[in-house]
Structure 1
Amino acid sequence: MKRWLGKAETTLGNHSDRLNAINIFPVADGDTGTNLYLTVRAAARAAQGVPTDTTARPLVNGNTRPPVVGPPDPAQNDVGAVLARAGQAAMEQARGNSGTLFAVFLCAAAEPLAGHTRLSSPLLAAALNRAQIRAWSALSDPVPGTMLSVMEAAGRAAAVVDADHDGDDSNHTLGLALDAAVEAALAAVVRTEDQLEALHTARVVDAGGVGMLLVLDCLRSAVLGEELQEQLFDGLHGYDVQAPHIHADLPRDDGVEVMCTITLSPLDAATMRQRLDELGESVIMSQVGGEADADGAYRWRVHVHVSDAAPAVALIRSLGEPSDISVSELALPRDPGSLPLEAVPGAAARSTDLGGHGR
């Protein structure tokens, strides 16, 4: 799992420019690659930070003793625990629609894996299914033709393999399930062009869908010890390193993206979702962690696109005390090299730091 997220971080960094270039849905703001990269980076670093128990310890007299040998440290050897930690970090630092949905995906995928020390075909099928259902439900107005469709296709394909092999938990069947999931994800990406009018008109596939395909192929690569399948991207419309930024020729998207983390009771969470739906679009709300506080409230990650930030921020503050609140312009410079991002008014929350993996 750590290898997977580390590989996904590097790969999304390497592909971020191409993902940004074809990002035209739900708004043509050219940042899906950056948002996915920064969110996955948060997950990868959190996963690598899981404490281990493999170093020799000094004794009082200056001698050392070997590492403790005994029951596995759950934080180190529990697949679900590793992914839950990574998912929570991703949720707290999620960027944009695509990053938020990936964080939801990761948190949900961790749940069926809790208590297990290895991945298997049945567990993969359960994790992908839980993740795609949670991601669809996080959006107030989900639509096909996005990364949601790619998640769903991968989950269904893994489930078919699991069913065909009667729940066999061998490594061989796991490999078959991973192959099937990536193949189905690729087919779903190709279909996105005809599922959304904006993509069909521009003759491009969905940027978030391609990003999710990359993530899934990284999982396959990490588990099977094989190289990434670069041929996956041959023929995907618009996905060419030499292609211009497709979004540059589209109408500017006015408005802002508002994101925050906030603790809410179930009633207040329902109220916030309803009122944000009335104020704007692309409303995503998902729990951060599964534990309620002493008052029965949960932490939520909130995302919305609105024409004016003030009413949305006022609504959020009326229901609780948000943390990590950010307001970013949806409209970026049409010439991708014309202005540094920090020069765009209100876009301070959009970091272009790609950690050396930007190209």
Structure 2
Amino acid sequence: MQTKIAANAHAMKRWLGKAEVILGNHSDRLNAINIFPVADGDTGTNLYLTVRAAVAALGGTATDAAETGNDVGALLSRAGQAAMEQARGNSGTLFAVFLCAAAEPLVGKSRLSAPLLATALNRAQIRAWSALSEPVAGTMLSVLEAAAHAAQAVDASQSGDDSNHALGLSLDAVVDAAYQAVVRTEDELAQLHEARVVDAGGVGMLLVLDCLRSAVLGEELQDELLDGLHGYQLQDPHIHEHMPADDGVEVMCTINLSPLNAAILRQRLDEMGESVIMSQVGGAQGNDDDDDEPGVEVSYRWRVHVHVPDPEPAVALIRSLGEPTDIAVSQLAIPRENGQETAAGEASGRESESTNAATNVPGQSRHEF
């Protein structure tokens, strides 16, 4: 069994750092098998850039570090808020939702334990499923759900034991369950089954969870987890090579909204487009104390994501309900004029090369409103 387990705030920081590197190194391969919800080939890039934002938030001043101290939840919450503010795409947004939600039951705790891991993962998978207007099995959501159930099963079998031994058992079970869930994605979604690939976002979440296991248990990442996953062999071509281009754009922004306006926005975006994700960024703002000041409405900060045929109506709708920040529009279609390149698998293990690969991937042209 594991000989040296570290589950404190420093280990959580190490976890996110590992995830940044591994997602950077695997971004090309994840992009190559990304065909759901749209074949826009950017899941790896989106996950990498979102995790990078989380890691950057933890590299602040000594004062910033003092604010979180040894508080595992406070550290992850800070990283999660930064990830949410800069989340990219479906996969990046769902990762940010996962991180923010997992942090909540850990606030005030100095170390992760098996019972806390079970609670955190359960909170995260519920929040991720509810963030999407139309959640679909066979995706990151299924992988998160399987991981949460595995952690709960171990916690129950160990009768709530908060020892390092129980935590090690739980992390092993979580990663194994996530792997099995990734394998199942190919048969859960018709698009994946037809293309004979597993879900890219699911693989990304598997890598993130294995990074958590590695950081806490002091063990190497389990590279063999990727062996045999359909479509993941480095010599395989880019899966989008013979697929028709996707029309439309991805619109993302952050905006303060009352609960009523948030519900209105979600409903109208559902009518306009697809892949609607809305998740809170932080707590209530406005009249959230006991001042009872009349006329001041409680609002929340929201991260908004949607795929639409035309950005203008969506942007106009968003602006009619509030004052958004960081409105970004990205084309869903992958540029095909130069052909698709195969994955840069040879960059694996070299962080500088992975960073370049992740930030210069087709389909990432964006412009701000």
Give the TM-score normalised by the residue count of structure 2.
0.86
CA distance in 2, matches of 1:156, 1:345: 35
TM-superposed deviation, 1:296: 0.5
Preserved contact between residue 42 and residue 363 of structure 2 (Cα < 8 Å): no
- Equivalence map 1:334-345=2 (5 Å): 334=336, 335-337=339-341
What count of residue pairs does the alignment treat as equivalent?
A: 331
CA distance in 2, matches of 1:74, 1:320: 31
CA distance in 2, matches of 1:271, 1:88: 24
Task: Give unpaired runs (5+ residues) of structure 1.
Answer: 55-72, 351-359
Preserved contact between residue 50 and residue 75 of structure 1 (Cα < 8 Å): no
Say yes or no: does 1:11 pair with 2:15: no
- Equivalence map 1:148-227=2 (5 Å): 148-227=141-220
SS at match of 1:2: helix
User: Which deviations, in whole Å up to 9, do the C-alpha atoms of 1:140-160 show, x marking residues without a partner?
Assistant: 000000000000000000000
SS at match of 1:81: helix
Say yes or no: does 1:96 pair with 2:98: no
SS at match of 2:282: coil
- Equivalence map 1:57-136=2 (5 Å): 73=66, 75-136=68-129
CA distance in 2, matches of 1:208, 1:346: 17
User: Which deviations, in whole Å up to 9, do the C-alpha atoms of 1:61-82 show, x marking residues without a partner?
Assistant: xxxxxxxxxxxx5512100000
Give the TM-score normalised by the residue count of structure 1.
0.89
Q: Taking every aligned residue pair, what percent have the same amino acid on both sides?
A: 75
- Equivalence map 1:270-281=2 (5 Å): 270-281=263-274
Task: Give unpaired runs (5+ residues) of structure 2.
Answer: 1-11, 288-296, 343-356
Say yes or no: does 1:347 pair with 2:365: yes
Aligned to 1:356: none
Say yes or no: does 1:252 pair with 2:230: no
CA gap of 1:128–1:50, structure 2 versus 1, over 3 A, is farther
TM-superposed deviation, 1:52: 5.7
TM-superposed deviation, 1:292: 2.5
CA distance in 2, matches of 1:52, 1:276: 40
- Bigger RCO of structures 1 and 2 (CA < 8 A, at least 6 apart): 2
Picking from 224, 228, 236, the partner of 1:235 is 228
CA gap of 1:2–1:271, structure 2 versus 1, over 3 A, is same
CA distance in 2, matches of 1:267, 1:323: 20
User: Which deviations, in whole Å up to 9, do the C-alpha atoms of 1:175-199 show, x marking residues without a partner?
Assistant: 0000000000000000000000000
Say yes or no: does 1:307 pair with 2:278: no
TM-superposed deviation, 1:291: 3.0
Q: Tell me how large the CA RMSD over aligned residues is.
A: 2.0
User: Which deviations, in whole Å up to 9, do the C-alpha atoms of 1:297-330 show, x marking residues without a partner?
Assistant: 0000000000011110010000000001001100
CA distance in 1, matches of 2:163, 2:60: 29
